[in-house]
């Protein structure tokens, strides 16, 4: 829990403001199921900048590395190492991908009062 909280604080609040990134997940909702899955998975490692351009999610990845480094401090010396840090990074990216898939395919079904998506009229 401490690793997750540290990662969220550093990678979801502090670093995004420094890197001028928006760590939120933006619901796609249209397209084939495959394209929506790939979009959700990709958003674990890419995000939008404050200017709206897609870029690598430096804040999220560095936040996971920082959380892994901090958690490395309270493990016994025999269990410490870079492998532990990068294992935590992989778990953090995987958890983010799973959360994105959940948001893309499940959350909207449990939010019945959201406005319906409309498509613009074709000329």
What gap in Å lies between CA 51 and CA 95, rounded to an integer? Answer: 26
DSSP, res 57: -
Give the pLDDT confidence score for residue 59 in this predicted structure. 92
Angstrom CA distances, 5 to 23, 35, 41, 109, stand at: 15, 31, 22, 28
Give the pLDDT confidence score for residue 115 in this predicted structure. 66
Domain membership flag for residue 119: no
Of 54, 57, 34, 52, the C-alpha closest to 105 is: 34
Pick out the chain residues at pLDDT < 70: 114-123
Ramachandran angles phi, psi of 8, nearest 5°: -65, -45
What are the tokens at 17? 């403001």
Domain hosting residue 76, numbered range: 2-108
Domain membership flag for residue 93: yes
Domain membership flag for residue 113: no
Domain membership flag for residue 74: yes
Number of domains observed in the structure of the chain: 1
What gap in Å lies between CA 36 and CA 28, rounded to an integer? Answer: 7
Query: SS3 for 49?
Result: strand
Give the start-end residues of each E strand in 1-123: 21-22, 46-49, 54-56
Domain membership flag for residue 118: no
What are the tokens at 117? 């998506």
Domain membership flag for residue 10: yes
Domain membership flag for residue 120: no
Domain membership flag for residue 100: yes
């Amino acid at each position: 829990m401490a690793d997750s909280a540290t990662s969220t604080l550093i990678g979801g609040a502090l670093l995004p403001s420094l890197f001028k990134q928006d760590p939120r997940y933006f619901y796609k909702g249209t397209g084939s199921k495959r394209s929506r899955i790939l979009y959700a998975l990709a958003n674990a490692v890419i995000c939008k900048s404050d200017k709206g351009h897609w870029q690598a999610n430096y804040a999220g990845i560095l936040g996971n590395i920082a959380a892994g480094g901090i958690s490395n401090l309270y493990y016994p010396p025999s269990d410490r190492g870079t492998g532990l840090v990068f294992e935590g990074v992989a778990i953090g990216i995987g958890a983010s991908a799973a959360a994105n898939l959940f948001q893309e395919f499940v959350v909207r079904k449990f939010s019945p009062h959201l406005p319906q998506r409309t498509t613009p009229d074709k000329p």
